[in-house]
Amino acid sequence: MWMVSPPVGIFQSTKKLFLSERAGRGRTLEFIRKNAANGLSVANLVAGLSSVLCSLNRQYHHSCWLLLVGFLLDLADGAVARQLDACSALGAKLDDFADFTTFGLATALLLQPQGVLDGLLAIAYVMAVFARLCFFSSGIPFTYRGLPCPYASSLLVGTFLLTGGNVTLLRVTAIVMILFMVDRGFYPHDKVLESQLWKKVVYAGGVAAVLFSPAAVASIYCLAWSTSYIIFPFAIWSCKA
């Protein structure tokens, strides 16, 4: 009998180890599932903070690329949270903070404020983003109230890159975007990655343009994408996923 015990003990130990490893793997996968969208929000936040640093060092071209990356990340994190059923109050707060940093503070610095009036415009832009994120709730499924700030940021970035940083035109564009964001008109929840195939193709094209295309191509692509949503929200982008 004493010769049978060691194999039985080894079998039990192996079984316990296997079950423990499987449970650990399950906990790891569950942690990843719950925090995948939060990870994208953190990446968006890092992109925004990096953009702020680039602007403070007058490296506006690099700042623009980081804002476009943040734009793509923002469109992805909501889709990931919904698909993985990982929406949470913490995730929503983290997403809003990342959006405020990237599409509010970092984008406003592209205006290159030099005097009091320029500074007031930059502050007004940041406050418009703040109001849009905190106080504009539509109460209607698949609908925003006021222009989503990522699209305003993308349009400003496209304008900056195409005009070589023409400050006057950029500031005029910013004023128009402020009016769109504080207006309580409805915009459809585009859900790019959860809608028709053509919207997913548009997103994939944006990723390819930002990562692999020259600045002119990427800026034209993102400018056209944002303009189509801002000017023709329901004619083109209205969709219930």
pLDDT, tens only, 99-138: 999 999 999 999 999 989 999 999 999 999 999 998 887 6
What is the share, in percent, of the chain residues with pLDDT greater than 90? 56
Task: Please report which confidence band the pLDDT of residue 23 belongs to, taking 50, 70 and 90 as the band edges.
Answer: low
Residue 30 falls within a domain, yes or no? yes
On whether residue 87 sits in a domain, the answer given is yes
- 40 and 73 Cβ atoms separated by less than 8 Å: yes
Q: Which of 207, 177, 164 is nearest to 73 (CA)?
A: 207
Tell me the CA end-to-end span of the chain in Å, nearest whole number.
66
**Does the residue 137 lie in any domain?**
yes
Query: 188 forms bridges with which residues in the sheet?
Result: 143
The structural domain count of the chain equals 1
Whether 64 maps to a domain, the answer reads: yes
Residue 4 lies in a domain: no
Q: Give CA–CA dist 154/103, Å, rounded.
A: 9
Model pTM score: 0.84
Residue 3 lies in a domain: no
Q: Are 155 and 223 in contact (CB under 8 A)?
A: yes
The per-residue pLDDT for range 32-50, each reduced to its tens digit, is 666 778 888 999 999 999 9
Domain presence at residue 97: yes
Residue 26, in any domain of the structure: yes
Range(s) of the domain holding residue 44: 14-237
pLDDT of residue 157: 96
CA dist 220 to 52, 159, 211, 226, Å?
23, 9, 14, 10
Q: pLDDT (tens digit, 9 = 90+) per residue, 38-90? A: 888 999 999 999 999 999 999 999 999 999 999 999 999 888 877 777 677 77
